[in-house]
Amino acid sequence: AQKVTQAQTEISVVEKEDVTLDCVYETRDTTYYLFWYKQPPSGELVFLIRRNSFDEQNEISGRYSWNFQKSTSSFNFTITASQVVDSAVYFCALSDAFSGGYNKLIFGAGTRLAVHP
């Protein structure tokens, strides 16, 4: 069955620290998509990245980077030199062909990141 686990409920760091948010997923499919979304205190959901299962290259976008490892079923998200504006809840999500033909999106419970000045 599909499942996404974000074991870290809350993380608190001081500005400029690096922080990694963990995401572990379960799927029986060989073809699937992984996503990260950000929910700042204002409440909206902002798309960060989509990765398909055949692309194992790590991604870097400014201070953000993602490490996709199929061997450990993980898709971790690292923020380098964190800033107060990074404070948000971050969600990892999965869709695969087995469950509803990519129509179902399964979210993890989210990790709340607090970055203190």
Partner 1 sequence: EAQVTQNPRYLITVTGKKLTVTCSQNMNHEYMSWYRQDPGLGLRQIYYSMNVEVTDKGDVPEGYKVSRKEKRNFPLILESPSPNQTSLYFCASSLVSNQPQHFGDGTRLSIL
Q: Whose CA is closest to 89, among 63, 116, 115, 113?
A: 113
23 burial class (0-12, 13-18, 19+ CB within 10 angstroms)?
buried
**27 near partner 1 (CB under 8 A):** no
Is 37 in contact with 48 (CB distance < 8 Å)? yes
Q: Report the distance separating Cα 83 and Cα 112, nearest Å.
A: 14
**43 near partner 1 (CB under 8 A):** yes
The residue from 3, 28, 104, 116 that contacts partner 1 (CB under 8 A) is 104
Read off the tokens for 33: 């998509």
**47 near partner 1 (CB under 8 A):** yes
**102 near partner 1 (CB under 8 A):** yes
The residue from 68, 79, 110, 113 that contacts partner 1 (CB under 8 A) is 110
Tell me how far, at minimum, the Cβ of 90 lies from partner 1, in Å: 11
**100 near partner 1 (CB under 8 A):** yes
Closer to partner 1 by Cβ: residue 37 or 68? 37
- Stretch 74-93 residues interacting with partner 1 (CB under 8 A): 91, 93
Q: Report the distance separating Cα 73 and Cα 38, nearest Å.
A: 21
